[in-house]
């Protein structure tokens, strides 16, 4: 975890060529047809915000890598502003916050920091903002405890369990050697020290913020207990990474829960959101622009994953496959050293879902997992 010190203890460089540890972007084809963007391609500049509706403004924090930014949502609170999601622990991001403090947020009181989930682009500066303003961090228990477990792992080298899972997925020796050489503490370096205490959010909670009330709606699959915030009166949903307009969030089997079924949880969360949130809300995502057409997008995400499962099951029925053999069937971009870990996690998530549905079976052959069709 980044350490406090001179210049706020925030490093100037991430050491990650593509900020891939944010884990937000999947590598799968996706469609955003049928969505409308009330603000078009407009986005707030440095030190600026855009008013989305009563009770919410939009700030954009630049980031390195292919995503290029994270959106921070500023909620009107009693006597101030609540910050939702923060950016990575880099001076590129903290300088953007300093510009906001000198600009649109000049003289504004920060009342709390809310993390939708544990990935570093969402809580990387949460501890810094909370410390700077003397306020509390709000998160769900699943996200906070998982974040603490990850940052407490001080291993410099990739753990044996990680190497074993990569080998089981079909990585060759050169890829395994490269994984060992990369080390294991990148996630920790992208997060400013988190407060020791936090305020727990739970599904169904209603957060009173002065004249506005936001209901917590949780989902899972991309992360353990992701919190969305819904202002029913104003018709606004802060969706974090649970719903993105143009990219599909990464859904991976991770070493922290190697036997989990994250894709099953993701699909169940989509159904939950379809049943709880009305279709005409303004959806405010972590990446991309605010949009309308929530149910269209959720249905597309569900159907795209279901089609990939169908194609994968068909291919495995013809010939046994390892996780790495699934990449061309699942992803629409080249998979190389910088994204092989996330691609492997997502392939394993699809294979686990097919296992649970009884459509494939796994064979451990000398430490490598081969998947076979089920007649």
pLDDT, tens digit (0-9, with 9 covering 90-100), for 37-68:
999 989 999 999 999 999 999 999 999 988 89
Q: Residue 240's domain is classified under what CATH number?
A: 3.60.15.10
Residue 153 · residue 33 · CB < 8 Å: no
Task: Say which DSSP state 260 is in.
Answer: -
Identify the pLDDT of residue 354: 98
Identify the pLDDT of residue 344: 97
Instruction: Indicate the range of 128-132, 157-161, 211-215, 286-290 predicted with least confidence.
Output: 157-161
Q: Is 56 within a domain?
A: yes
Distance (Å) of CA 178 to CA 54, 336, 341:
50, 11, 11
Instruction: Indicate the range of 22-31, 132-141, 181-190, 244-253 predicted with least confidence.
Output: 22-31
Q: Is 324 within a domain?
A: yes
- For residue 92, is pLDDT > 70? yes
Domain count for the chain: 1
Point out which residues pair with 361 in neighbouring strands. 372
Structural domain for 46, as ranges:
31-373
Roughly how many angstroms between the first and final C-alpha of the chain, as a whole number?
Answer: 49
Q: Is 336 within a domain?
A: yes
Q: Is 46 within a domain?
A: yes
Most distant CA atoms of the chain, gap in Å: 67
Q: Is 340 within a domain?
A: yes
Identify the pLDDT of residue 99: 98
- For residue 19, is pLDDT > 80? no
The pairing of strands 110-114 and 69-77 is unpaired
Q: The tokens of 350 are what?
A: 């699809």
* DSSP state string for 338-368: TTHHHHHHHHHHHHHHHHHTTSEEEEEETTE
Listed residue (132, 114, 131) closest to 123, CA to CA? 114
What is the pTM (predicted TM-score) of this model? 0.92
Point out which residues pair with 236 in neighbouring strands. 231, 282
Identify the pLDDT of residue 18: 42
Q: Which residue has the higher pLDDT, 133 or 23?
A: 133
Q: Which helix (H) or strand (E) holds 248?
A: none
pLDDT (mean) for 194-204: 97
Q: Is 8 within a domain?
A: no
Q: Is 18 within a domain?
A: no
Q: Is 165 within a domain?
A: yes
Condensed to tens digits (0 to 9), the pLDDT of residues 253-291 reads 998 899 999 999 999 999 999 999 999 999 999 999 999
């Amino acid at each position: 975890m980044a350490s406090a010190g001179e210049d706020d203890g925030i490093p100037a460089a991430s050491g990650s060529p593509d900020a891939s540890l944010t884990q937000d972007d999947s590598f799968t084809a996706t469609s955003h047809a049928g969505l409308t963007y009330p603000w078009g391609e407009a986005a707030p500049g440095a030190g600026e915000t855009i008013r989305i509706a009563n009770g919410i403004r939009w700030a954009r924090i630049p980031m390195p890598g292919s995503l290029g930014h994270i959106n921070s949502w500023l909620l009107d609170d009693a006597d101030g502003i609540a910050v939702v999601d923060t950016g990575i622990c880099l001076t590129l991001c903290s300088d953007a916050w300093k510009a906001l403090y000198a600009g649109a947020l000049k003289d504004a009181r920060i009342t709390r920091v809310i993390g939708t989930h544990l990935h570093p682009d969402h809580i990387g500066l949460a501890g810094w903002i909370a410390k700077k303003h003397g306020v509390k961090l709000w998160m769900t228990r699943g996200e906070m405890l998982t974040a603490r477990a990850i940052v407490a792992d001080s291993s410099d080298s990739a753990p044996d369990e990680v190497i074993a899972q990569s080998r089981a997925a079909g990585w060759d020796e050169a890829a395994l050697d490269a994984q060992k050489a990369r080390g294991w503490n990148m996630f920790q370096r992208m997060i400013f020290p988190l407060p020791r205490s936090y305020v727990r959010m739970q599904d169904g909670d209603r957060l009173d913020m002065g004249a506005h009330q936001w209901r917590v709606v949780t989902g899972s699959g991309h992360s353990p207990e992701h919190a969305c915030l819904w202002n029913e009166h104003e018709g606004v949903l802060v969706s974090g990474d649970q719903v993105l307009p143009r990219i599909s969030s990464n859904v991976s089997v991770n070493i922290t829960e190697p036997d989990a079924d994250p894709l099953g949880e993701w699909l169940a969360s989509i159904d939950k959101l379809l049943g709880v949130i009305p279709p005409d809300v303004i959806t405010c995502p972590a990446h991309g622009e605010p949009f309308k057409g929530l149910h269209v997008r959720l249905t597309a995400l569900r159907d795209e994953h279901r089609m990939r499962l169908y194609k994968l099951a068909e291919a495995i029925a013809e010939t046994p496959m390892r996780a790495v053999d699934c990449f061309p069937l699942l992803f629409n971009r080249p998979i190389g050293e910088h994204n092989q870990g996330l691609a492997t996690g997502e392939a394993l998530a699809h294979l686990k879902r097919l296992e649970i549905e009884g459509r494939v079976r796994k064979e451990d052959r000398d430490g490598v997992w081969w998947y076979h069709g089920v007649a």
